[in-house]
A and B are shown apart, each in its own frame.
Chain A
């Protein structure tokens, strides 16, 4: 069988993606789960190397990759279940939670857009930066909708997550934060799923608040950005 035919088999890229992801997860666990070697970051780098080495373009890879990508939609819908499970907490702390996630979502996207404007970045790049604090599946969907680059948005989200995990302890020390639920919530708003995973290191309560913050911030940003963008003229 010739390589040019083999290359177009969708199942080849499914096998490559799953195998590389398993190796990356194993590697990350060995390295003490550091956010800088997050399995998604490692996987996508390795797969890009494989594609470049075999002169395979992204469209050919997506012949297989699209079947994994397709599951992102129902996975975003499934985020409703952890939100529902924590409904009692949401109701009890409704005002601080809403204030925290709304202000966090607004500061995150407005500050990124303003800094980007100051650096003279293109409009499409600004639209890609806007959802950077939102969990990747929602950020990809937002970037697709508002006219950014979805793949680049996914990459920026991952880098944001890694940065957030590193600076969170600094923020706690600076503002003398000791409450575990506040720690988790701050990580969830600023650093989405990676922050949430990191928050579990502080304890179950911090992790639950991280997940809650991530879901609320993601949903709010999806509704808020389409309103903000025409206001700032993008």
Chain B
């Protein structure tokens, strides 16, 4: 448990140092995730402690989002002024995104089938 948590925090720390040092606006935790992935690819397995800690954290991930979500209370002004524009944007943008991805994947899987024949 402790060992797994140490690995996660250490990767995050490395990530934070890297983005500060390179002066880029990428979240340190995302860089930490990539670093851990590369580390696992080199090590070729997931240490037991790391797996149990990570699965525990990911299981409660929705709970971890709640405090940030409660911060919405500070944006009631913005929300009441723009709620319908925001809803339209989210709806149209999500629809277009899904259509584009689905169409591209269908096209590529068709090409693969034709190659197979």
Contact = CB atoms under 8 A, between A and B. Distances in A.
A81 B65 contact: no
Interface centre among B36, B41, B85, B101 (most CB of A within 10 A): B101
B63 interface: yes
Contact of A151 (B53, B74, B88, B96): B74
A101 B42 CA distance: 24
B66 interface: yes
Interface string B34-74: 10110011000010001101110110011111111111111
Interface string A51-73: 11000001001100110110111
A168 B67 CA distance: 29
Nearest to A66: B67
B12 A73 contact: yes
A74 interface: yes
Contact of A133 (B37, B65, B73, B97): B97
Q: How large is the interface on B (under 10, 10 to 19, 20 to 34, 35 or more residues)?
A: 35 or more
Given A51-B70, A159-B90, A186-B102, A95 B65 contact: no
A86 to B, nearest CB: 11
Q: How large is the interface on A (under 10, 10 to 19, 20 to 34, 35 or more residues)?
A: 35 or more
B78 interface: yes
A82 interface: yes
Contact of A77 (B12, B26, B90): B12
Interface of B: 5, 8-9, 11-12, 15, 24-30, 32-34, 36-37, 40-41, 46, 50-51, 53-55, 57-58, 61-75, 78-79, 82, 85-106, 108-109
